[in-house]
Amino acid sequence: MQFRLSRGIWMMLVASFAFGLMNICVKMVKEIPVAETVFFRALVQIVLGYLTLWKLGVSPLGKNKWLLLQRGFFGSIGLICYFYTLQEMPLGNAIIIHYLAPVLTTILAIWMAGERVIGIQWLFFAVTFVGVVVVNGAGFKVPVIPMLAGFGGAFFSALAYNTIKKLKGVEDPNVVVLYFPMVSVPIALVYFLFKPADWVWPDGMQWLWLIATGITTQVGQFFMTRAYQEDLASRVSAVSYVGILWGAGAGLLLFDEQYALLQYVGMAMVIGGVILNINARRLKNFFAPAED
């Protein structure tokens, strides 16, 4: 039996690494309000997205505008909820709740995309999720509203991922990516209509970090979109758990964070769960009783 990574899996690995870089950029501008970071990130994405589509000669409006707007709306709400939990909860708790998104993606794919999930995949999801919990080493003693926002963020992210899957063969991946920031900009601006005093003009390196946030997001969104269009949501979504390993590495190298031995065990569980999940069908066939 040979373990291989599909194109979709490779693309999600690239996407998760790009998102890991995005997280570093966002951490570097923590003095900037979340809505403002989302706004500037979206502006950079829009510029890059339009330039790419102009070069390809593809209309930025797309064909199925309703599904594209859904993708943008679900993704934007999921992002805002996630950022809110990062502000209001301990980092470990926020990440744990957010990483329910791949499990919810698999469940929703059964209904939204008609995908079939074999039983053993649920075991591998459980191993991966427990690994995430061990790595973060945090409990769930948090205020009710931030916790609900965390669940909401995971749920809306799962809806966005499955909407991407439904757009396969209908829209150019660059058009799908473009609709995310196009919807995010007005949503972010609504916040400052009610709280204009919260606006903070970036200076110096903050501008570079905000631009880098948009660029890394664009790369991550493109490869994530392609990944969900190339492979089953139940397989691709599991790979997103690798993002916590990029985060751990960045914490060690850039932010002088330390991890306990048990947390490294959790990282091993994450890697093992991902590898087993993406090869679940091969494992099932390998261990299936041979026919006489």
- State pLDDT tens for residues 144-201: 787 788 888 889 988 988 888 788 777 888 888 888 889 999 988 888 888 888 888 8
Burial (CB count <10 Å: 0-12, 13-18, 19+), residue 196: exposed
pLDDT at residue number 156: 92
pLDDT at residue number 258: 65
pLDDT at residue number 208: 92
Quote the CA–CA distance of 230 and 33 in Å, as a whole number.
Answer: 36
pLDDT at residue number 108: 80
pLDDT at residue number 207: 92
Quote the CA–CA distance of 48 and 107 in Å, as a whole number.
Answer: 33
pTM > 0.75: no
Contacts with 56 (C-beta within 8 Å, 6 or more apart), sequence order: 172, 174
Low-confidence stretches of the chain (pLDDT beneath 70): 1-5, 86-87, 89-96, 113-115, 117, 132, 135-143, 233-234, 237-238, 241, 244-248, 250-252, 254-259, 274-275, 278-279, 281-292
Return the domain boundaries, the chain: 7-284
**Distance separating the N- and C-terminal Cα atoms of the chain:** 20
254 conformational bin, left if phi > 0, alpha if psi -120 to 50, beta if neither: alpha
**Secondary structure (DSSP) of 238-264:** HHGGGHHHHHHHHHHHHS-----HHHH
φ, ψ dihedrals at 139, nearest 5°: -90, -165
**Cα distances (Å, whole numbers) of residue 209 to 31, 37, 55, 195:** 12, 10, 26, 24
Quote the CA–CA distance of 280 and 130 in Å, as a whole number.
Answer: 18
